[in-house]
Amino acid sequence: MLTLPVPASADPLPGPAGDLTQAIHRDLGIDLTAYQRRADDAQRLAGFAAGFAADHPATFAGAWLDPDGRTVVGLAGGADRAAARAAVEAAGFTPRDVAKSAATLNAEQQQLDRWLAGLPPQLAALVRGIAVDIAHNALAVRVERVADGLTFPSFVDPRQILVMPGPRTTEPVPAPKSDAITGVLPGNALGGGDAFAAIDGRAMLRCSLGFNGTDAAGQVVNVTAGHCNPDARSAGTGTAANIFELGRFDSIGPKLGTFEASRLDGHDYSLVRVDPGAAGRFANNLVRAPGVAPLAVDGVATPVVGAPVCKSGARTGFSCGTISAVGQTVRVGNRQLTDNFSSSICALPGDSGGAVVSGTKAIGISSASSVADYPFCELPDVLGAALGKGPELFVTPIDAVLADNPGLTLRTS
């Protein structure tokens, strides 16, 4: 396998964020100013909700942005509801009375998990995901199909049981032979959304770069998806899989780095340690659709239902949606993702690992899609509009990745 050295210096990512602006208008129906305002409002709401939940545990029933962008705090029937309402209004948010507190909904989710664990395996396998739907003050359950014997506990609202196929991720393809390896591709900077090929000698995965950063040892890394590693068990060892730049027509370019760590169950992420010769190409805080539209990341965001988000992926570029659920559990094949959030975004194989942002802040890594079997996004978008079941992108929150890896930091300049 012939590779050539990568220039240590890198050209900046070109152009204004025009592609992002177009995606926001196309997918969200708002302009760039409204997008940024809603993203900022979501983070302001998240900060308030953390303290408010601790002060009013029996009353707090979640916080979200409604379809018009209003910041809403749900209030259940706790003894301190009047004081809680006054605190919400004083902070500039909209109170909304609901039946169940967040604590009650979380307890029901735990009860449903225990119920599910007691089912016969063939029935339990039909349940692909469970989430607290705070905007509807209920649990939401995703099932592969309806089957005899799958009768849910009474606290699960039948209207919140969704029959949908389970999400999927990138599948491996045979690794190319050595004569498919090309020389150096143009030495531009590499940012979130750019394509790479992960190769372990037997198989190759096409994926997207996530966020650039440094690990606890000060090494340059890129945070991408765990399932983008074709041999996750070897991460961090002498036989770990490598990543290569992926160019037009799937031409394999220079080696960029090696998988330092990968996690598949629970949180889905990998840390790729960048080779010293390529480090200059990752010395940026930028996210883009391949070749266009850089967006400078300036911090980390907390997922909030209703918040606007956009993903950058090598397959489908920039596309945007809103967060539909947070803190959810979903089965992807034989793996189980926890603490992830879902958004109304179409993503296809090759987008895995790409950066997801809210405003100008990093919020997650693309992990799985409900429409991965489709050849292009226009088809599920049309079917979703007709059937009321649009595409969903499942995302591993970046704050969970940072919590799992003390000392890991993202580039914000």
CB 361 within 8 A of CB 297: yes
Dist. CA 19–CA 15, nearest whole Å: 10
Dist. CA 54–CA 289, nearest whole Å: 40
Q: Which of 198, 289, 346, 252 is nearest to 3 (CA)?
A: 252
* pLDDT at residue 183 in the model: 33
Entry pTM: 0.85
3-class secondary-structure state, position 166: coil
How far is the CA of 292 from the CAs of 87, 191, 314, 350, 357, in angstroms? 44, 11, 11, 17, 16
Distance of CA 227 to the CA centre of its chain: 13
Residue 244 CA neighbour count, 13 Å, CB half:
30
3-class secondary-structure state, position 224: strand
Dist. CA 401–CA 397, nearest whole Å: 7
Place of tokens 């399932």: 227
Residue 21 CA neighbour count, 13 Å, CB half:
8
Dist. CA 373–CA 380, nearest whole Å: 10
DSSP string, 322-339: EEEEEEEEEEETTEEEEE
How far is the CA of 88 from the CAs of 75, 168, 393, 401, in angstroms? 9, 39, 31, 31
* pLDDT at residue 13 in the model: 41
Residue environment code for 337-353, b if the CB has 16+ CB neighbours within 10 A, otherwise e: bebbbbbbbbbbbbbbb
3-class secondary-structure state, position 116: helix
What is residue 359's DSSP assignment? Answer: T
DSSP string, 32-60: HHHHHHHHHHHHHHHHHHHHHHHH-TTTE
* pLDDT at residue 340 in the model: 92
Burial class (CB in 10 A: 0-12, 13-18, 19+), 240: buried
HEC profile of 245-313: EECHHHCEEEEEEEEEEEECCECCEEEEEECHHHHHHHCCCEEEECCEEEEECCCECCCCECCEEEEEE
* pLDDT at residue 98 in the model: 97
How far is the CA of 75 from the CAs of 61, 94, 137, in angstroms? 5, 10, 10
Give bridge partners of residue 368 from the DSSP assignment.
394
Dist. CA 413–CA 410, nearest whole Å: 9
- Residues in CB range of 122: below 8 A, 6 or more apart: none
* pLDDT at residue 188 in the model: 77
* pLDDT at residue 128 in the model: 79
* pLDDT at residue 65 in the model: 98
Tens of pLDDT, residue by residue, the chain (413 residues): 222 222 233 444 444 445 677 888 889 999 989 999 999 999 999 999 999 999 999 999 999 999 999 999 999 987 899 999 999 999 999 999 999 999 999 999 999 889 888 888 888 888 878 888 999 999 888 887 776 667 888 888 888 887 766 665 655 555 554 333 333 333 478 999 999 999 987 778 899 999 999 999 999 999 999 999 999 999 999 999 999 998 877 788 899 999 999 999 889 999 999 999 999 999 999 998 544 557 889 999 999 999 999 999 988 888 899 999 998 888 887 788 889 999 988 888 888 999 999 999 999 999 987 756 555 565 545 444 444 567 889 999 999 999 999 999 999 97
Give the number of residues written for the chain. 413
What is residue 135's DSSP assignment? Answer: G
